[in-house]
A and B are shown apart, each in its own frame.
Chain A
Amino acid sequence: MTVDTQALADRLTWARTTRTAIPQLSDEVPGLDLATGYAVQRLQRPGLGRPVGWKLGVTSRAKQRQVGVDAPIYGFLASDHVLDLGEPLTTAEHINPRCEPEIVFVLGRDLAGAHVTTTEVLAATSGVAVGIEVIDSRFTDYRFTMPDVVADNASAGRYVVGAPVHPDGIDLRLVGVVLEHDGDVVATASGAASLGHPAAAVAWLVRALAAAGEGLRAGDVVLSGGLTAAVPVGPGDVVVATIDRLGSLELACR
């Protein structure tokens, strides 16, 4: 049986634009695999504006063990995902928004290839910054299999990025990460929470993109993976992410 990927992509687009959670696709498509998930994801790209970069998901080893996988996933970022600095998040534009702190890479030059290493990623990076990603699953209560969440663009919602600094001399593995929600410290981590090193997560992305004939371009932003558990947000909430050596970022919700 061939899967109607366009129908699945349309269903996800409907869920996103009408802000209505839907059951996971794999309920109806038992054979849904990762490759099909990425095909469904790709079909949604034109609907979200100009491409601006990529995001990683399932980058924590603990999370990977929990769901029984040994690799992360990726999704695309487009201009509709962007929240500019200081711009509030309108939670009503989302289904079930949750915030997580991330280290954001800004690429200084193109980078592609099936054998790209962490060292090459760092050499191609013009800046790293603190970021807050607002994830939002189009599936009811974030219940999904891996192919489902890949099809749903790795739960990409919105993101905001602080001012980038040059990565030279920063050990991104060790930088402290603090997430505050309405003034309370709700989670802490260090950069290693993403795949042992955030740049290693980006290297994985480049290799995975190479398999699809794609790569990173100069100016691309890459969200290198959530560093703590995501905190649910509603109107009136304020989320602050601080990453040592990179700075601090505040996101107001309305």
Chain B
Amino acid sequence: MPISDPVGKARLLYDARRDRVAIPPFTDDDPTLGMADGYAVQAELVDLLLADGDSVVGYKVGLTSKPMQRMIGVDSPDFAPILGSTAHVDGGTVSLSRLIQPKMEAEIIAVMGERLAGPGVLVTDAARAVAGVCASVEIVDSRFEDWRIGLADTVADLASNGAFASSSRVVPLTEVDPRYVGMTLTRNGELVDTGAGAAALGDPLAVVAWLANTLGERGIALEPGHLVMTGALHAAVPMAAGDVFRADFDRLGPVTLRVVE
């Protein structure tokens, strides 16, 4: 049975983003909503945002860790387009005024060098198509009340993507095995958490391959220059105005963001 009114649900999320007012999860009313329903709403929402002049600069992949998948009750990741309007500069600021209930995550971004289209993409194909990797922080945000999300909710809500910043140096894979890149996240100089690339599905390049194959089912390809956010390397951290977050990645370098009102 097709989801009831994906356009209306997308409009609710669109308004929630604009007004910065969280809404009740769709799965409250209809617990049977699943992944396909979520993607139907997501597609409508992206159309609305692109009509406002926004752009797709790549994709984020979420639910890449076993604990997150268990929490949501799935055994696969999810994805959503990354909007150009959510890009922030390394060393710059991110304003809470554009977010609802943000949290900070450090992750590795893969930058596509060549077109990559599924099905049948192997991790070795992904490695060949990727120009390199860089350091990033993702700010996740939920347009649903108190982060009370089911799978269909988070998928519809652009996989809870809020904003991101990346370092500028794209390090080629000849210099780095993304699985073993260590990362320390500090807030105001204090260590908050650590992780390594393998936290994302065992290998950030496996995330790129999964994404290419999943997009391929929808007739979409990863294009040169597209960014792929490969998934958090640690549990998301709450953020407040005045916080300075720095994610330092071995072999990739740091990325820093200051949080302002």
A residues whose Cβ falls under 8 Å from a Cβ of B: 61, 171, 173-178, 184-186, 188-193, 196, 227, 242-244
- A189-B195 contact in complex given A171-B250, A174-B182, A175-B250, C-beta closer than 8 Å: yes
- A175-B182 contact in complex given A189-B196, A244-B196, C-beta closer than 8 Å: yes
Mark contacts of B135-150 with chain A using CB atoms, 8 A cut-off: 1 yes-contact digit, 0 otherwise: 0000000000000000
**CB-CB contacts below 8 Å: B164-195 with A:** 177, 179-184, 191, 194-195
Q: Are B191 and A176 in contact (CB under 8 A)?
A: no
Which chain A residue shows the least CB distance to B179? A178
Q: Are B195 and A190 in contact (CB under 8 A)?
A: yes
- Among the 9-residue stretches B24-32, B120-128, B197-205, the one with 4 or more Cβ atoms under 8 Å from chain A is B197-205
- A177-B182 contact in complex given A185-B202, A189-B196, C-beta closer than 8 Å: yes
Please indicate the chain A residues that have their CB under 8 angstroms from the CB of B179 in the complex: 176, 178
Please indicate the chain B residues that have their CB under 8 angstroms from the CB of A242 in the complex: 180
**CB-CB contacts below 8 Å: B50-96 with A:** 66
Interface centre among A171, A175, A189, A190 (most CB of B within 10 A): A190
Q: Are B202 and A176 in contact (CB under 8 A)?
A: no
Please indicate the chain B residues that have their CB under 8 angstroms from the CB of A244 in the complex: 177, 180-182, 196, 250
Q: Are A176 and B184 in contact (CB under 8 A)?
A: no
Please indicate the chain A residues that have their CB under 8 angstroms from the CB of B153 in the complex: none
Which chain A residue shows the least CB distance to B254? A174
Q: In the assembly, what is the distance between CA of A173 and CA of B233, in Å?
A: 16
Please indicate the chain B residues that have their CB under 8 angstroms from the CB of A189 in the complex: 182, 194-196
Shortest distance from the beta carbon of A76 to any chain B beta carbon, whole Å: 27
Please indicate the chain A residues that have their CB under 8 angstroms from the CB of B66 in the complex: 184, 186
Shortest distance from the beta carbon of A254 to any chain B beta carbon, whole Å: 26
- Can you add 14 more A-B contacts, CB < 8 Å, to A174-B184, A174-B248, A190-B196? A61-B191, A173-B184, A175-B182, A176-B180, A178-B179, A184-B66, A185-B202, A186-B66, A188-B194, A188-B195, A189-B195, A190-B194, A190-B195, A227-B194
Q: Quick check: is B210 within 8 A (CB to CB) of the other chain?
A: no
Q: List 26 A-B contacts (CB under 8 A).
A: A171-B250, A174-B182, A174-B184, A174-B249, A175-B250, A176-B180, A176-B181, A178-B179, A184-B66, A185-B202, A186-B66, A188-B194, A188-B195, A188-B197, A188-B199, A189-B182, A190-B182, A190-B194, A190-B250, A191-B182, A192-B194, A193-B194, A196-B191, A227-B194, A244-B180, A244-B181
Q: In the assembly, what is the distance between CA of A175 and CA of B183, in Å?
A: 8
B residues whose Cβ falls under 8 Å from a Cβ of A: 66, 177, 179-184, 191, 194-199, 202, 233, 248-250
Please indicate the chain A residues that have their CB under 8 angstroms from the CB of B248 in the complex: 174
Q: Are A177 and B196 in contact (CB under 8 A)?
A: yes
Contact of A192 among B180, B191, B197 (CB under 8 A): B191
Which chain A residue shows the least CB distance to B234? A188
Please indicate the chain A residues that have their CB under 8 angstroms from the CB of B183 in the complex: 174, 176, 190
Q: In the assembly, what is the distance between CA of A186 and CA of B250, in Å?
A: 20
Shortest distance from the beta carbon of B78 to any chain A beta carbon, whole Å: 19
Please indicate the chain A residues that have their CB under 8 angstroms from the CB of B195 in the complex: 188-190
Q: In the assembly, what is the distance between CA of A177 and CA of B233, in Å?
A: 11
Shortest distance from the beta carbon of A19 to any chain B beta carbon, whole Å: 31
Q: In the assembly, what is the distance between CA of A104 and CA of B249, in Å?
A: 22
Q: In the assembly, what is the distance between CA of A51 and CA of B184, in Å?
A: 34
Please indicate the chain A residues that have their CB under 8 angstroms from the CB of B184 in the complex: 173-174, 190, 192
Q: In the assembly, what is the distance between CA of A176 and CA of B199, in Å?
A: 10
